[in-house]
Structure 1
Amino acid sequence: MSVEDTVAVRVLLADDHPVVREGLCAILESDPGVEVVGQAGSGEEAVTLATRLLPDVVLLDLRMGGMDGVAATGHILRQAPRSKVVIVTTYEDDSDILRAVEAGAAGYLLKGSSRAELIEAVHGAARGATVLTPSLATKLFRARTVEPPPLSARECEVLRLVSQGLTNADIGRELFIGEATVKTHLLRAFKKLEVSDRTAAVITALERGLLT
């Protein structure tokens, strides 16, 4: 008998609804090859417990108050790099799936998945496989192949100046435009890059080669 057959997969559950956590726990622990080692009610708590418990797999809700599942995924994988994160959610929006996978999640399951699908996903993730609810495979492919809208020349110019440490007022003076106009260009760039702050916008634009 192999080690994989005798050693249970250690799982951490993270969801801000206690009833959901209990339901997932009951399903998983019906399989003798799975052991639920902890439960978290928030993204922050999931990071703390994952760092301490070092589970094989973290089943993580996508949308929780405070730190969401995507942000928590990044923190968990930095603190517990051997853990595998599987997002379990009711949402199946294309951008959500892509964000989760790009953050390093090993899989993405809907809460409507069957008991067999959930248990197989846990074992698969523990083995290093990518697990995805079948109905989401096409969505992920489509999300990966859609080109992000390009930044305008002015938006790139504003972000270049942001990368140099200039404030909105400084940028306005440099480009001979109003500070409110600078803010408008930034907000449009944030939306196109799917980020929420200046630092993330600059980093993302640099990664995509938009500020060369």
Structure 2
Amino acid sequence: METNDVIRVVIVEDDPEWLAGLKSYLRREADIEVVGTASGGEEAVRLLEKLEADVVLLDIMMSDNPEGLWAAAEIVKCSGVRVIMLSSMEEKDMIFEAFKAGAVDYMVKSDFKDIPQTIRSAYAHRSAIHPSVAAQMREEFRRLKQLEQEVRVKELRDLLTPTELQVLDLIEKGLTQTQIADKLFVSIRTVKVHVGNILKKLGGKSSKEAAQKAKDMGIL
């Protein structure tokens, strides 16, 4: 960013006192100019159709609902404005939804001293997730990954019959197909059919490989 660049900012906030305070705070920054304000999502979208802005500071909760999430998605879709979500709370679901809506950063209002630098980073396309919510985001991604893994395991477990699971368990324990046939009181041909079905469902080049995969995934 060149020294003579002025970043045009729009603030969307339904709390008039907080809006006035933030405008006053940003007025101290020589490279930041508040070019417009709005008190609601629809008003913000209409405003940004009329004037040029670089960055929008957008409150998530307005009129007692997360109207900012809808507004963020509309603003990102219709313009190249960089959206920074503001909130009075650190809620993982809200944080995740804000980034899904297209926000480049999410800030808790108590970190207002960091807002000018966050605006500059957003304007320069160097935005990183603010430290106050980075840990929350990492935790949410870990939770989603774990949930995805659990769903996948359940899907595979549901594909396998109880007998196939039993055969897999015995293979994992090192028994041969002949030993499995003797233990289950079935023919070797029946065991081979079970193994063939297991390989079709789980993949793998051998029964041992399939058994190891099942153990690694937590199916066994």
- CA displacement at 1:24 relative to structure 2: 0.9
Q: Distance in 2 between matches of 1:67 and 1:89?
A: 10
Determine which of 103, 118, 137 is the counterpart of 2:134. 137
2:17 is aligned to: 19
Change (3 A) 1:54 1:78: farther
Q: TM-score, normalized by length of structure 1?
A: 0.65
- CA displacement at 1:131 relative to structure 2: 4.0
Change (3 A) 1:138 1:56: same
- CA displacement at 1:67 relative to structure 2: 6.6
2:84 is aligned to: 86
Q: Distance in 2 between matches of 1:15 and 1:26?
A: 14
Q: Distance in 2 between matches of 1:146 and 1:51?
A: 38
Determine which of 38, 55, 58 is the counterpart of 1:57. 55
Cα RMSD for the two superposed structures: 2.1
Please give the per-residue CA displacement for 1:108-140, whole angstroms capped at 9, x wherever unaligned: 01111142x110000000011224331211101
Alignment of 1:89-168 (within 5 A): 89-115=87-113, 117-147=114-144
Change (3 A) 1:49 1:34: same
Q: 1:123 aligns to what SS in structure 2?
A: helix
2:4 is aligned to: 6
Please give the per-residue CA displacement for 1:60-86, whole angstroms capped at 9, x wherever unaligned: 001112671111001001121x10000
Contact 2:76 2:102 in 1 (8 A): yes
1:29 is aligned to: 27
- CA displacement at 1:50 relative to structure 2: 1.6
Q: TM-score, normalized by length of structure 2?
A: 0.63
Structure 2, unmatched stretches of 5+, are 156-220
Percent identity between the two aligned chains:
29
Please say which of residues 132-141 and 26-35 is displaced more in the overlay.
Answer: 132-141
Code of the residue aligned with 1:128 in structure 2: it is H
Contact 1:44 1:67 in 2 (8 A): no
Which is higher, the Rg of structure 1 or of structure 2? 2
1:163 is aligned to: none
Flag the structure with higher helix content.
2
Contact 2:10 2:37 in 1 (8 A): yes
- CA displacement at 1:142 relative to structure 2: 1.1
Contact 1:110 1:133 in 2 (8 A): no
Contact 1:43 1:67 in 2 (8 A): no
Contact 2:54 2:123 in 1 (8 A): yes
Code of the residue aligned with 1:73 in structure 2: it is A
Contact 1:42 1:67 in 2 (8 A): no
Question: Which ranges of 4 or more aligned residues in structure 1 deviate by more than 6 Å?
Answer: none
Code of the residue aligned with 2:74 in structure 1: it is H
Q: Distance in 1 between matches of 2:127 and 2:42?
A: 24
Q: Distance in 1 between matches of 2:132 and 2:75?
A: 27
Q: 1:5 aligns to what SS in structure 2?
A: coil
Contact 1:44 1:72 in 2 (8 A): yes
